Amino acid sequence: MRTAPLLSALSLAAAATLTAAPAGAAAPQQEGRDCPQLSRELAWHGDNREQLQQAIDEAGSCSGGHRARPVAAFDWDNTITKNDVTDAVIAWSLRHDKILRPERWSDTSKWLTPAAEKALTEACGTEVPVGEPLPTSTDTDCADEIFEIRAEAKTMAGDEAFEGTWNHRRTVPEYAWVPQLFVGHTVAELRSYAAKSRAEALAAPVGAKQTVGTHEIPAYVRYYDQQRDLLKTLKKAGFDVYIVSAGSEPVTEVWSKGVGIDRKHTIAIRSVLKDGRITPYNYGCGDVGVTEGEYIPYIDGKRCAVNQEIFGVQGADAWKKQGEKHRIAIGGGDADTDVTFVGDATAAHLVLNRNKPEIMCRGYDDADGKWVVNPMFIEPLPQQQAPYPCATSAYANEDGTHGPVLRENGDVVPDQEDKAY
pLDDT band of 65, cuts 50, 70, 90: low
pLDDT per position as a tens digit, 307-351: 999 999 999 999 999 999 999 999 999 999 999 999 999 999 999
Give yes or no for residue 120 having a pLDDT over 60: yes
- Give me the pLDDT at residue 28, please: 43
Name the percent of the chain in helix, strand, coil, to the closest 5.
35, 15, 50
Contact 172, 126 (CB under 8 A): no
Confidence of residue 64 (pLDDT cuts 50, 70, 90): confident
pLDDT digits (tens, 9 = 90+) for 194-206: 999 999 999 999 9
Confidence of residue 6 (pLDDT cuts 50, 70, 90): very low
Other C-beta atoms closer than 10 Å to the C-beta of 370 total: 22
Q: What are phi and psi of 415, to 5 degrees?
A: -55, 145
What's residue 68's pLDDT?
82
Q: How confident is the model at residue 33 (pLDDT cuts 50, 70, 90)?
A: low
Classify 215 as helix, strand or coil: strand
- Spell out the residues 6+ positions from residue 174 whose beta carbon is closer than 8 angstroms to its own: 149, 150, 151, 152, 153, 161, 162
Residue type at position 138: T
pLDDT confidence of 21, banded at 50, 70, 90?
very low
Q: Angle of helix 225-236 relative to helix 48-59, nearest 10 degrees?
A: 20
Query: CB 365: neighbour CB atoms within 10 A?
Result: 18
Domain spans, the chain: 25-82+222-403, 85-218
Nearest to 59 by CA among 233, 227, 224: 233
- Is residue 136 predicted with pLDDT exceeding 60? yes
What's the confidence (pLDDT) of residue 190? Answer: 98
Q: For position 10, what pLDDT does the model report? A: 34
Q: What is the CATH number of domain 25-82+222-403?
A: 3.40.50.1000
Average confidence (pLDDT) over 373-396: 98
Per cent of the chain over pLDDT 70 is: 91
User: How many distinct helices (H) and strands (E) make up the chain?
Assistant: 12, 14
DSSP, collapsed to helix, strand or coil, labels residue 44 as coil
Question: Quick one: average pLDDT of 405-413?
Answer: 97
Task: Quickly count: other Cβ atoms within 10 Å of residue 408's Cβ.
Answer: 9
Q: Write the CA distances from 197 to 7, 183, 204, 317, 404, integer angstroms.
A: 30, 19, 11, 38, 40
